[in-house]
Chains A and B, each alone.
Chain A
Amino acid sequence: MSGIKRSFTLKTRPPDTDPAPGTAGSPSGETLLTVRGLTVRFGGVTALEDVSLQVRSGEICALIGPNGAGKTTAFNSVSRLVQPVAGAIAFDGADLLRARAGDLAALGIARTFQNLALWPGLTVIENVMVGAHSLGRTGFLGAPFGWGVRSEHRELTERAYAALAVLAIQDVAFQPCQGLPFGTLRRVELARALVTRPRLLMLDEPAAGLTQGDVRDLGTLLRALRDELGLSLLLVEHHMQLVMDIADYVVVLDSGRNLLSGRPDEIRDDPRLVEAYLGSPR
Chain B
Amino acid sequence: MPLRIERGSRRHRLLRLALAGGAAVLLLGLPHLLGTVSQVDTLSQIAAYSVAILGLIILMGYCGQISLAHSAFIGLGGYTTVILVADHDWPYLATIPVSIVICLAVGALIGIPALRIRGLYLAAVTLAVAALFPALVIRFEELTGGTSGKFAREAMQAPEWFFVNPYTRVGPSIVRFYVIAAVAVLVFLVARSILRSRIGRSMVALREAPLSAAASGVQVARVKIFAFAISGAFGGVAGSLLAIQLPQASDTRYTLDLSIFLLVALVAGGSGTMLGAIPGAIIFVTLRTFVSDWAAALPGFQGSDGGQIVGIISCLLLLAIVFLMPTGVAGGLQKAGRRLVQFTDPVPAGWRRFQLSASSQPTPSADAGGSQTASSPQPENSGAPTKG
A1-B219, A130-B218, A166-B358 as given contacts; A171 in contact with B376, CB under 8 Å: yes
A129 x B375 contact (CB < 8 A): no
**A145 engages B215 (CB within 8 Å):** no
Q: B215 to chain A: which residues have CB within 8 Å?
A: 79, 81, 101, 104-105, 110-111, 113, 117
Do B384 and A133 touch (CB < 8 A)? Answer: no
Inter-chain CB contacts under 8 Å: number: 213
Q: A213–B387 Cα gap in the complex (Å)?
A: 11
Q: How many residues of A contact B (CB 8 A)?
A: 77
With the chains together, A220 CA to B378 CA distance in Å? 25
Which one, A151-159, A245-253, A262-270, is touching chain B?
A151-159
Complex interface bits, B184-224 against A, C-beta within 8 A gives 1, otherwise 0: 00000110111011111110110111011111111110100
Partner of B367, one of A80, A170, A213, A217: A170
Within the complex, the shortest CB–CB distance from A115 to chain B, in Å, comes to 10
Which chain B positions have C-beta within 8 A of A208?
A: none
Contact (Cβ within 8 A) A180 B209: no
Q: In whole Å, how far is A142's beta carbon from the nearest beta carbon of chain B?
A: 8
State the majority secondary structure of interface residues on A: helix
Q: Is B303 in contact with chain A by the CB < 8 A criterion?
A: no
Is B101 close to A, CB under 8 A? no
Cα-based distance from A138 to B215 in the complex (angstroms):
19
Residue in B219, B374, B385 whose CB lies within 8 Å of A102: B219
Identify B218's interface contact among A117, A133, A169, A180, CB under 8 A. Answer: A133
Residue B351 lies at the interface, judged by CB distance under 8 Å to chain A = yes
Which of A24-32, A63-71, A119-127 lies at the binding interface?
Answer: A119-127
Q: CB-CB contacts of A224-247 with B at 8 A, as 1s and 0s? A: 100011000000000000000000
Chain B residues within an 8 Å CB radius of A184: 379-381
**Chain B interface bracket (under 10, 10 to 19, 20 to 34, 35 or more):** 35 or more
User: Which residues 145-169 in A have Cβ within 8 Å of B in the complex?
Assistant: 145-146, 149, 152-154, 156-159, 161-163, 165-169
Known pairs A103-B217, A153-B197, A180-B379. 12 more at Cβ < 8 A? A81-B215, A100-B214, A119-B204, A130-B202, A130-B216, A149-B196, A162-B354, A194-B356, A213-B384, A214-B382, A217-B386, A221-B385
8 A-B residue pairs with CB within 8 Å: A101-B220, A120-B208, A146-B196, A156-B198, A174-B344, A220-B387, A221-B386, A224-B361
Residues of A within 8 A of B (CB): 1, 11, 15, 79-81, 100-106, 110-111, 113, 117-122, 125-126, 129-131, 133-134, 136, 138, 140, 142-146, 149, 152-154, 156-159, 161-163, 165-175, 179-181, 183-184, 187, 192, 194, 196-197, 213-214, 217, 220-221, 224, 228-229
